Amino acid sequence: MTMDSKNPETIALHAGWRRDESTTSVAVPIYQTTSYQFNSTEHAASLFGLAELGNIYTRIMNPTNDVLEQRIAALEGGVAGLAVSSGQAASAFAVQNITRAGDNFVASTDLYGGTWNLFANTMKDMGIECRFVDPSDPKAFANATDDRTRCYYAETLPNPKLQVFPIKEVAEIGRNLGVPLIMDNTAAPILCRPFEHGAAIVMHSTTKFIGGHGTSIGGIIVDGGNFDWEAHKERFPMLNEPDPSYHGAVWTEAVKPMGPIAYIIKARVTLLRDLGSAMSPFNGFQFIQGLETLPLRIRAHSENAATVAEYLSGHDKVGKVIHPSVMDGEARRRADAVLSGGYGGLCGFEFAAGGKEAGQRFIDSLNMFYHVANIGDSRSLAIHPATTTHSQLSPKEQEQTGVTDSYVRLSIGIEHIDDIIGDLDQALATV
């Protein structure tokens, strides 16, 4: 079905699928298959040679996941998507797709702890240098760029600082230097469309708000189709020079007849083929279910979180509240420039006194909130990052990512607001 609507509520329900042609099934089936019968040896050769696109093997593509890919690409305003096994795999692939040993990339310091570890340690072991810069000054990205810089990387609404990234400013710096901006939009689906602000690639941990029900781990990369890889041949040899792993294909040329999708096709047929981080079609199905109500849910998350931020701001045991709705100055300006329809479901706070013990006692006293390492579930969730998600970082790295001793991260769910505040209130009373 062609998707003419520009409205996320409609796209989330209709993009990429009308019905199953053989059974007329309206729900997207779970194509739980490893393989696909070729019509002939000629057909098989043509698929393997990328002369035509079609199903070969579920490690590389799957019809259930294909609907998810089309739907999220449509929601983001991109040209094509690639579903993978986790958000971590999506972050790694998004960078690795254009970066080799000896190259570097520049990332914001405001990152999820797992992404930080991947970039600072695992990527380093692979010979890829990540240069971390403070996003409060967009020019820091330009200053860290040299001719081996392959991309910029940042989160739209970085958890835990929740200071919205200056997408437009950094994307523009990158475009002038021939460097694409990759945005992790996990915390702000629907609320932000990074391509509209100049980003070239978007990724999500679909594990979070997109899935919404806390059942499945997954990730996706979306190609904006808006970056001219051929105009910067020297910066992107992996897209512009013959690829020995695919009998010498030059991706920007080989893929041209299919549209501006060289980046995402290469990720699929080289990285996914070789590293195998495929999304299971069952998880793809779960994410499709989640997507259907995402536009409604993300509004409810945002409204509840803004009410929680207001409540916490007036509580005498709370020192600082972190949510864009209670920020002012430049942080608020950036939030308003990038987000529309709400400030997201994540909210953090620090205790006025009591440090680490206060944070831990509060978490242990919650009744309804789940104490988990996840975010973006329909249920309300809480965690104490300094002793959990960010505990593998050094004290300096914790500080750079915005995690202090008493910081508590809340992912506000879509329960009734009175029950959310009630649970927070009784837990605060125990500290």
Binding site for ligand PLP (CB under 6 A): 86-88, 91, 112, 114-115, 155, 159, 184, 186-187, 205, 207, 217, 219, 375
Q: Which helix or strand (DSSP H or E) is residue 264 part of?
A: helix 262-266
Please state whether the peptide bond connecting residue 237 to the residue before it is cis, i.e. omega within 30 degrees of 0. Answer: no
**Closer residue to ligand PLP (CB): 142 or 339:** 339
How far apart CA 346 and CA 359 sit, in angstroms, is 17
Instruction: Using CB positions, name the residue nearest to ligand PLP.
Output: 87
Smallest distance, Å, CB 224 to ligand PLP?
Answer: 18
Nearer to ligand PLP, 47 or 89 (CB): 89
Say if CB 221 and CB 267 are below 8 A apart: yes
Q: Which is nearer to ligand PLP, 145 or 283 (CB)?
A: 283
Measured between alpha carbons, how far is residue 201 from residues 8, 206, 236 in Å? 19, 15, 15
Q: Closest CB to ligand PLP among 151 and 261? A: 151
**Residue-wise DSSP of 41-109:** HHHHHHHHTTSS----BTTT--HHHHHHHHHHHHHHT-SEEEEES-HHHHHHHHHHTT--TT-EEEEES
Binning the chain into helix, strand and coil, the percentages to the nearest 5 are 45, 15, 45
Q: Which is nearer to ligand PLP, 17 or 116 (CB)?
A: 116
Nearest to 297 by CA among 373, 212, 380, 216: 212
To the nearest whole angstrom, how small is the minimum distance from the Cβ of residue 208 to ligand PLP? Answer: 6
**Number of DSSP helices (H) and strands (E) in the chain, helices first:** 17, 12
**Shortest Cβ distance from residue 426 to ligand PLP (Å)?**
27
State in angstroms the smallest separation of the CB of 87 from ligand PLP. 2
Helix axes 281-313, 417-429, angle to 10 degrees: 60
Chain Cα centroid distance, residue 44: 34
Q: At a CB cut-off of 8 Å and minimum separation 6, what does 39 contact?
A: none
Nearer to ligand PLP, 255 or 393 (CB): 393
Query: In angstroms, what is the minimal distance from the CB of 102 to ligand PLP?
Result: 26
Q: In whole angstroms, how close is the CB of 93 to ligand PLP at the nearest point?
A: 12
Nearest CB to ligand PLP, comparing residues 145 and 277: 277
Nearest to 66 by CA among 95, 31, 91: 31
Question: In whole angstroms, how close is the CB of 216 to ligand PLP at the nearest point?
Answer: 9
Nearer to ligand PLP (CB atom), residue 76 or residue 243:
76
User: 355-365 and 417-429 are packed helices; what angle lies between their axes, rounded to 10 degrees?
Assistant: 130
Three-class DSSP labels, 366-395: CCCCEECCCCCCCCCEEECHHHCCCCCCCH
Shortest Cβ distance from residue 156 to ligand PLP (Å)? 9
Among residues 112 and 351, whose Cβ is nearest to ligand PLP?
Answer: 112
Instruction: Tokens for 404, please give them.
Output: 């202090």
Q: Kindly state the tokens that stand for 193.
A: 């469309």
Nearest approach in angstroms of CB 209 to ligand PLP is 10
